[in-house]
Amino acid sequence: MAAAAIDVLRQASGLQVRLSGDWTLSTMAQPVAAVERRLRALASENPHWDLQGIARLDSAGAVVLWRAWQGRWPAALAISPRHRALVEQVEHLDGEPALQTSGQSHAWLLVPGRLILALARNLLGLIALLGQLLLDLAYLAAHPRDIPWREMSANVFKSGAQALPVTALIGFLIGIVLSYLSALQLKNFGADVFIVNLLGIGIIRELGPVLVAVLVAGRSGSAMTAQIGVMRVTEEIDALATMGISRSVRLVLPKVIALAIAMPLLIVWCSAAGLAGGMLAANVQMDLSYAFFIDTLPKVVPLSNLWIGMGKGVAFGLLIALIACHFGLSVKPNTESLSACTTTSVVTSITVAILVDAIFAILTRTIGVPL
């Protein structure tokens, strides 16, 4: 292999630049950027380019030449047809970005445009996944022997039973904090007894479901996305398809059903822990007896608030599991995509849960709230 060489001849007819040798990535002088700068300086004098002496030319050499010529063919050029075809390929590839960045006045539209396209793509993916799950349910209704009971029970245990300690702890501490802060204000107005109303409706109807949704999205949602994503990276999902096993029936459907079952139960558990913490703080701060708290709670907090909270749990469970599985199936076979999709899954799940909670609050604003 001959090293890439540049010969400059200054004649009466003008400047002539002759290139010879092998213009490949391994034979060009390092750093390549210095070679490109020298060629660009020569190109500014509009020389006659003689490339007939080039023995070998690869894509790296073609890119260096095309950049040195600043994306334009020289007026005087002698080049073999084989090498010209390679430079023309570089010209074709270099033309696409130029078209994208030509309208600088509209560059600010790129960021919101990409966000809208990503939102639409993920929304369509979620709708397709939901449709597939409905078809799977219809199939399992006709073939009850294929229902994945073991996968469902395993996911209920992982997402529900194993989450009991942390949800109880968070609920208990939030109940104490809410009760303590409320007591400071209610004492000023002599409305100590109304702390039962405040804690009952606030925790059962709003705080309990939202806290559990955030915890489950960060704990179980991320685990689901990571599990399916790792199976994508290791090609286990492709192996399931090869064996004729439905990925949606064995992977997605059990997670969705399990989380829809576990979430309402976790909300009741977390709300009970929150009320226990609030009752303890009310007893310490305002000397409110436990018997009075327990006796007054069902009188001032209608049962419909509990059903609203559990209904939110079912909706949150379905959405968190769907989003987690969707982003898990969207993972590309590399670790960077795995981490990015897991993070996006958690953020999206929490955001969607808060949006759905706001919709529930609007639709049920006249239900379960004593006037």
Location of structure tokens 């006796």: 295
Residues of the chain with CATH 3.30.750.24: 5-99
Query: Up-side HSE of residue 72: CA atoms within 13 Å toward CB?
Result: 8
Q: Is the dihedral of CA 307, 257, 149, 161 positive or negative?
A: negative
CATH of 5-99, one of 3.40.50.300, 3.30.750.24, 3.60.20.10, 1.10.10.10: 3.30.750.24
DSSP string, 115-177: HHHHHHHHHHHHHHHHHHHHHHHHHHHH-GGG--HHHHHHHHHHHTGGGHHHHHHHHHHHHHH
Name every residue whose Cβ is closer than 8 Å to that of residue 348 and which is 6 or more positions away in sequence.
Answer: 122, 323, 327
Classified as helix, coil or strand, 53 is: strand
Q: How confident is the prediction along the chain (371 residues), in pLDDT tens digits per residue?
A: 678 888 888 877 778 888 888 888 888 878 888 888 888 888 888 888 888 888 888 888 888 888 888 888 888 888 888 888 888 888 777 554 443 444 455 667 777 888 888 888 889 988 999 999 999 999 999 988 989 899 999 999 999 999 999 999 999 999 999 988 888 788 777 777 788 888 888 899 888 999 999 999 999 999 999 999 999 888 888 888 888 888 888 889 999 999 999 999 999 999 999 999 999 988 888 888 889 889 888 888 888 889 999 999 999 999 999 999 999 998 888 888 888 999 999 999 999 999 999 999 899 888 877 65
Name every residue whose Cβ is closer than 8 Å to that of residue 320 and which is 6 or more positions away in sequence.
Answer: 213, 216, 217, 220, 221, 259, 263, 349, 352, 353
